[in-house]
């Protein structure tokens, strides 16, 4: 499973998903983290600015954020991407919780 997590400051799960330009991209297989990479986009490639998912996020199965609007939710639904709006703050805490 490929998961993208909004993390504008590289540590916390952040809101404003459409404006976000930094994402952790995780690959998890059988509850094991295979890879974790930070993706940093230029401002003009944010989802809000470009109107679409950036190429770096194509193929994700799940999108994690602390907040997003209805437009973003519809965009993810139309791309068949599951999403979660979480109250967890730290990326590492979310990941540990997910793996358990």
CA 50 centroid distance within chain? 16
Q: What is the pTM (predicted TM-score) of this model?
A: 0.94
What is the structure's pLDDT at 52? 85
The two structure tokens encoding residue 78: 């139309």
Percent of the residues in the chain that have a pLDDT greater than 70, as a whole number: 100
* Residues listed for the chain: 100
60 in Cβ contact with 2 (< 8 Å): yes
Q: For position 51, what pLDDT does the model report?
A: 83
Query: For the segment 34-74, what is each residue's pLDDT rounded down to a tens digit?
Result: 999 999 999 998 988 888 889 999 999 999 999 999 989 99
- Domains of the chain (ranges plus CATH)? 2-99 (3.30.420.130)
């Amino acid at each position: 499973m490929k998961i993208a997590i909004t993390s504008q400051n590289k540590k916390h799960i952040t809101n404003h998903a459409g404006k976000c330009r930094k994402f952790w991209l995780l690959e998890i297989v059988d509850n094991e983290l295979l890879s974790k990479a930070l993706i940093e986009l230029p401002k003009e490639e944010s989802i809000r600015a470009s109107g679409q998912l950036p190429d770096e996020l194509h193929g994700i199965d799940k999108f994690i954020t602390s907040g997003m609007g209805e437009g973003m939710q519809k965009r993810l639904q139309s791309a068949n991407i599951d999403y979660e709006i979480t109250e967890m703050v730290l990326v590492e805490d979310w990941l540990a919780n997910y793996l358990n």
